[in-house]
Amino acid sequence: MINGPYLLFLGDAPDPLAAKVAQGIRDWRPDASVGQLRLAGCNADMGLADMSVAEAVDAGAKTLVIGVANRGGMISDTWIEALIEALEAGLDIASGLHNLLRDEPRLVEAANRLGRQLHDVRIPSVKYPIANGKKRTGKRLLAIGTDCSIGKMYTAIAMERVMLERGMKATFRATGQTGILITGDGVPLDAVVADFMAGAVEYLTPDNDADHWDLIEGQGSLFHASYSGVTMALIHGGQPDALILCHEPTRTHMRGLPDYALPSLEELRDIGLTLAQVVNKGAQVIGISVNTSAMERPAAEAYLAELEQRFGLPAVDPFAQGADRLVDALP
Amino acid sequence: MINGPYLLFLGDAPDPLAAKVAQGIRDWRPDASVGQLRLAGCNADMGLADMSVAEAVDAGAKTLVIGVANRGGMISDTWIEALIEALEAGLDIASGLHNLLRDEPRLVEAANRLGRQLHDVRIPSVKYPIANGKKRTGKRLLAIGTDCSIGKMYTAIAMERVMLERGMKATFRATGQTGILITGDGVPLDAVVADFMAGAVEYLTPDNDADHWDLIEGQGSLFHASYSGVTMALIHGGQPDALILCHEPTRTHMRGLPDYALPSLEELRDIGLTLAQVVNKGAQVIGISVNTSAMERPAAEAYLAELEQRFGLPAVDPFAQGADRLVDALP
């Protein structure tokens, strides 16, 4: 569990894209951060108050979250100095970088000396059990996609926001690095050892109130040759009552696999539902979430209308239009 | 790579069942071992020559293979003494135990001092790549099951044996501890980190001669809530040209999951084939392998005949009847 609120570290981000993680936190948890810390040469701006480490501590910050990718796969000396200053001022540090905080001796030494936490959210911090497949109380929703990186996380978070606004019981359950940094908790599923994947998802979505919904962050795709096993474990560990199909209509091939075409939404629906019903006979597909960011507005609207007709399900872009109609479709 | 031939270590096995790994090696690679080493109190016997470590070295042994489960999850002092004696006599040691050899300081010290290898086959020894999904040359077969522990490994090894006898090009590809100890090589797939599972299977079954068959050891089941993600990675990493369906007709529920019934062979065929065709359009189901060990002979034969009728595919028990008809069915 990563303690909030955060100080968002933007470092010396060469451009806004390098600060994608910070962007996700700012977009989805605007109240999670007291401010941003930018070093010389930073070209990203989250529109938060610029703060020194000391100012952030005064404003109540508990953890410095690295919201930026590092250049060239190294944690630079400039960063290290800023991070040690943060530890000395009383902050923990959380990171989703490939280079682990725990592999930087100077950070480890300072954290040990000061009694601070270093959170490497790419690495599981728990010994997960093997899945037992038992039925749990409460409800679960999982977004599955025709491809990776297609809007599954955004769909789940957008639904959580609407549900909380309506006073419903809902929890977004993060399964990837950005999701974990957004929420402060979760399972880095792609780093879990094979035998424990489904068990990690069961651990993440335990028994709950009968009217509570876990909104589980999807990973990979059943149709993606590299990562389909992770998706499978999410379906069988998550035992979803409701599935959302996610799609990006302009994509010409599977991400990173130029020889593979995307499946149709019908194929995704049929196989996703069949596999979900192995562990939950009542599983149903309740809606379609489309990332229309690469489409003109009228074309996007015509496409969504056509999908609704074809599938008899609400089809929306939750980022552009909000997730209300997906929430309305929950059983 | 584990060097052969082996000295099979049966330790103080309380009964033959405890020596299941040794049994698999003896059944499937009768020439792999020069003899067996039994300690006081051993109640298992592979029918091999009893040898001391020194005699085994004289007979050409290169590796002592632990073919027995240890009692109470501890590697006992009695074992340690025998294992250190083996290292001193010039043998490497290979083990599939949950307790790792590398966690026993006395073994590590002796191996380092003597320049010997300790092979813990439960732990990946390679940094596997992320799968790239590219088409490889050569052919691949994968056995998939209605449940775990249902005969997938035996099916693949039995087919390899027939194919080699016929002068065909074939390699059994081990993906589990026993298979790795039988062949001396392979990928311990259930211990691989999620993101690299399919890549590990690609690594295990690389480009090969056009008429060469990899016979890939299956793991788990698409219908087993705990392990289905591993099965999925085998299908998408393996890109099988041919699938064999494995079944045990008397089993009343999924192994370890008392609330789950086994799927039908039709369900397994349909979903297995659909998923295999994501990565290999030409994938086909070529036969059915049934473990009939719990059935009377006439009932087993009637059952197999009924399956052949129902599916239009050869249905055999490869352990009882040999795998010839499955090999005949290869495309």
Q: What is the pLDDT along chain B (331 residues), one digit of tens a residue?
A: 899 999 999 999 988 888 989 998 998 888 899 999 999 999 999 999 999 999 999 999 999 999 998 776 678 889 999 999 999 999 999 998 888 999 999 999 999 999 999 999 988 989 999 999 999 999 999 999 999 989 999 999 999 999 999 999 999 999 998 899 999 899 999 999 999 999 999 999 999 999 999 999 999 999 999 999 999 999 999 999 999 999 999 999 999 999 999 999 999 999 999 999 999 999 999 999 999 999 999 999 999 999 999 999 999 999 999 999 999 999 9
Backbone angles phi, psi at A172, to 5 degrees: -70, 130
- Beta strands B92-95 and B63-66 are parallel
- Residue A259: list chain B partners with CB under 8 A: 133-135
Q: Please give the Cα distance from A173 to A215 (Å, whole number).
A: 6
Exposed (0-12), middle (13-18) or buried (19+): which is A274, by Cβ within 10 Å? middle
- Residue A236: list chain B partners with CB under 8 A: 224-226, 228-229
- Residue A226: list chain B partners with CB under 8 A: 130-133, 195, 198-199, 236
Across chain A, mean pLDDT equals 95
**ipTM for this prediction:** 0.90
pLDDT at position A73 is: 65
Option in B189, B195, B279 nearest A227 (CB):
B195
Option in A193, A199, A225 nearest B133 (CB):
A225
- Residue B135: list chain A partners with CB under 8 A: 259
Residue of B nearest to A229 (CA): B229
Q: What is the pTM of this model?
A: 0.92
pLDDT at position B197 is: 97
Q: Do B190 and A190 touch (CB under 8 A)?
A: no
CB < 8 Å & 24+ apart, contacts of A132-135: A132/A199, A132/A202, A132/B225, A132/B226, A132/B256, A132/B257, A133/A236, A133/A279, A133/B225, A133/B226, A133/B254, A133/B257, A133/B259, A133/B260, A134/B259, A135/A239, A135/A280, A135/B259
Residue of B nearest to A130 (CA): B226
The number of angstroms, rounded, from the C-alpha of A135 to the middle of its chain's C-alpha atoms is: 25
- Residue A204: list chain B partners with CB under 8 A: none
Query: Average pLDDT, stretch A48-61?
Result: 97
Of A73 and B262, the structure prediction assigns the larger pLDDT to B262
Which distant-in-sequence residues (6+ apart) come within 8 Å of B225 by Cβ? A131, A132, A133, A198, A236, A237, A278, A279, B254, B257, B260
CA of B30 vs chain A CAs: smallest distance (Å) = 31
Q: Do B197 and A229 touch (CB under 8 A)?
A: yes
- Residue B130: list chain A partners with CB under 8 A: 226
Q: Do B194 and A233 touch (CB under 8 A)?
A: yes
pLDDT at position A43 is: 94
- Residue A274: list chain B partners with CB under 8 A: 271
Highest mean pLDDT among A20-34, A216-230, B5-19: A216-230
pLDDT at position B73 is: 65
Q: Do A225 and B191 touch (CB under 8 A)?
A: no
pLDDT digits (tens, 9 = 90+) for A164-197: 999 999 999 999 988 999 998 999 999 999 999 9
pLDDT exceeds 70 at position A72? no
Residue of A nearest to B263 (CA): A278
Vertex B199, ends B205 and A289: CA angle to 5°?
Answer: 130
Residue of A nearest to B281 (CA): A260
CA of A9 vs chain B CAs: smallest distance (Å) = 27
Q: Do B194 and A193 touch (CB under 8 A)?
A: yes
pLDDT digits (tens, 9 = 90+) for A110-144: 999 999 999 999 889 899 999 999 999 999 999 99
Query: Average pLDDT, stretch A221-227?
Result: 97
**B108's tokens:** 């590590």
